[in-house]
Amino acid sequence: MARRSEHSRDEIRRMALDAAERIVAAKGYGGLSARKVATAIGYTVGTLYLVFENLDDLVLRINGRTLDQLHARLEATTPPNDRRDPERTLLALADAYIAYAEAESPRWNMLFEYVAGKGGPLPEWYLHKLGRVFGLVETALRPLACDDHEARRTARVLWAGVQGICTLKIHQRMDLAGGQRAEEMADTLIRNFLRGLATERPPGARGRGVPANRNPAT
């Protein structure tokens, strides 16, 4: 077994996170334990808890990495020039989100399977990472919203719908939605959602991104 002097605290931390991610990828969140992580990096559980507060902290740090990776994937799928078109941007974000959930199912599942501190508040650094992901949707919706508060609220409502579609896909229950493809369902959801935003605006207050006479089927 390795001695503590062989690695710095930062190195042990990185090793542990890398090992934990491999365990999650192979066995899912249910297969993760402090003992398995410690064994994988050649240290004791006690040493592991010198660099993490507890197992909750370790899991949150893994989920933080997942949020960073998800943000990078989503941001890369919407070039700056496309972000001037809310519908196009949101459709691209939804497709990228579904693709990530399918490609990284164990990590994606752990974002929602894990409940921090039995439902306690999440740390600020984690909320910041989560906010960056939501921020991409908020930015796309801002031309259609009355203010930033509405953009935040609307982004989370829309995300909840796409999240439900993703859950059906990952758990192989698309039959419950009539066998449609997840991407087709997300497309329908977003187009009709944006049409609803447009029609509820009073004259002169309609968002710039959705024309009044838009046909959602096009």
Q: What's the pLDDT score for residue 202?
A: 53
CA distance 193 to 204: 20
Residue 174 vs residues 49, 70, 138: alpha-carbon distances, Å: 41, 23, 28
Q: Which domains does the chain have, with CATH numbers?
A: 1-52 (1.10.10.60), 55-218 (1.10.357.10)
Closest Cα partner for 138 from 129, 148, 128, 130? 148
**117-134, pLDDT tens digit by residue?**
556 788 999 999 999 999
pLDDT 10s digit of each residue in the chain, 218 long? Answer: 445 458 899 999 999 999 999 999 999 999 999 999 999 999 999 999 999 999 999 999 999 999 999 999 999 987 666 657 889 999 999 999 999 999 999 999 999 888 765 567 889 999 999 999 999 999 999 888 878 888 899 999 999 999 999 998 888 887 776 778 999 999 999 999 999 887 766 544 544 444 333 343 33
Residue-wise DSSP of the chain:
---GGGS-HHHHHHHHHHHHHHHHHHH-GGG--HHHHHHHHT--HHHHHHHSSSHHHHHHHHHHHHHHHHHHHHHHTS-GGGGGSHHHHHHHHHHHHHHHHHHTHHHHHHHHH--GGGT-PPPHHHHHHHHHHHHHHHHHHGGGSSSHHHHHHHHHHHHHHHHHHHHHHHTT-GGGGTT--HHHHHHHHHHHHHHHHHHTSPTT---TTS-TT--TT-
Q: Given this model, what pLDDT does residue 76 score?
A: 92
Q: Tell me, what's the pLDDT at 212?
A: 39
List the structure tokens of 163. Answer: 């999240």
